[in-house]
């Protein structure tokens, strides 16, 4: 039973355009959400996070939107660059207990020059 | 500063062999996590330490998996009598907060384990 779902295994966009990566979750106890980027043979690299008390967080070209009623979040990358090509993981955690992250399966983004 | 380091980066083991995977967290980070990532999947939680205390080991798949962090810094994940289904990338992460949540976890490069 997957609590965090990334339904698109892959996404291809043109350089300079917007990339939108989506993530859905089922556990209403999740209150902190993160996006990680992963290159082959490397560990996940933290990109951006959002707390459930917010609906938007921005950091440079990266913006994360959270819709709690829909249990949906998205990562927008504008403008997309070829160096953004990687696998993007959505992760979530909940208050209390351990701080473990629950990950989606990832979306492979390809940005074409 | 130095990030999370893991060794070895690659390990090939024969079925039934014991293996030990090492993680050096970011200096001063209190919390340490182990995750297992199978091919084509996202990382899955194995266990969590706060300093030397193992507070959550609910993700360890069997009693063949054992983790320790005796002095609250370096951690070792040990897998006894390895099986082919143990083949995966083992990721270590650390974070700085003593308690609470909403703290970013920083990951190491992982150890890729292949059991033949």
Mean pLDDT of A44-48: 95
Answer whether B48 touches A (CB < 8 Å).
yes
Given this model, what pLDDT does residue A96 score?
A: 63
Pairing of strands B10-13, A19-25: unpaired
Confidence of residue A58 (pLDDT cuts 50, 70, 90): very high
Q: Which two tokens stand for residue A68?
A: 């709690």
Mean pLDDT of A71-89: 97
Mean pLDDT of B17-35: 95
Q: What is the pLDDT of residues B33-88, one digit of tens each?
A: 999 999 999 999 999 999 999 999 999 999 999 999 999 999 999 999 999 999 99
CA–CA gap between residue A97 and residue B96 (Å, rounded)? 16
Q: Nearest CA to B105 among B22, B49, B37? A: B49
Residue B24 pLDDT > 80, yes or no? yes
How far, CA to CA in Å, does A60 sit from each of A17, A48, A111, B14? 15, 10, 18, 47
Given this model, what pLDDT does residue B99 score?
A: 53
Given this model, what pLDDT does residue B98 score?
A: 58
Confidence of residue A97 (pLDDT cuts 50, 70, 90): low
Residue B103 pLDDT > 60, yes or no? yes
Contacts of B97 in chain A (CB under 8 A): 99
Question: Taking CB atoms and an 8 Å limit, are B102 and A93 in contact across chains?
Answer: yes
3-state secondary structure of B43: coil
Residue A14 pLDDT > 90, yes or no? yes
Contacts of A4 in chain B (CB under 8 A): 42
Pairing of strands B10-13, B111-115: parallel
Pairing of strands A102-103, A86-94: antiparallel
Mean pLDDT of A18-39: 95
Mean pLDDT, rounded, of chain A: 94
Given this model, what pLDDT does residue A94 score?
A: 87
CA–CA gap between residue B71 and residue B96 (Å, rounded)? 16
Residue A36 pLDDT > 70, yes or no? yes
Residue B1 pLDDT > 70, yes or no? no
Q: Which two tokens stand for residue B26?
A: 């970011």
**B109: nearest CB among A42, A49, A98:** A42
């Amino acid at each position: 039973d997957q609590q965090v779902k990334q339904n698109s295994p892959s996404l291809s966009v043109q350089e300079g355009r917007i990339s939108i990566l989506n993530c859905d979750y089922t556990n209403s106890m999740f209150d902190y959400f993160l996006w990680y980027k992963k290159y082959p043979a490397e560990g996940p690299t933290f990109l951006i996070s959002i707390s459930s008390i917010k609906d938007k967080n921005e950091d440079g070209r990266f913006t994360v939107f959270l819709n709690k009623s829909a249990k949906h979040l998205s990562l927008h990358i504008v403008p997309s660059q070829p160096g953004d090509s990687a696998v993007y993981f959505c992760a979530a955690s909940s208050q209390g207990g351990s701080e473990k992250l629950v990950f989606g399966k990832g979306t492979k983004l390809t940005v074409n020059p | 500063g130095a990030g999370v380091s893991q060794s070895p980066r690659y390990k090939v083991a024969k079925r039934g062999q014991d293996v030990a995977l090492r993680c050096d967290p970011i200096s001063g980070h209190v919390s340490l996590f182990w995750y297992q990532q199978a091919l084509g999947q996202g990382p899955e939680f194995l266990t969590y330490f706060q300093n030397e205390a193992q507070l959550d080991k609910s993700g360890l798949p069997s009693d063949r998996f054992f983790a320790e962090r005796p002095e609250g810094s370096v951690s070792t994940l040990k897998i006894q009598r390895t099986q082919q289904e143990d083949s995966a990338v083992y990721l270590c992460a650390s974070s700085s907060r003593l308690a609470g949540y909403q703290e970013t976890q920083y990951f190491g490069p992982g150890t890729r384990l292949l059991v033949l």
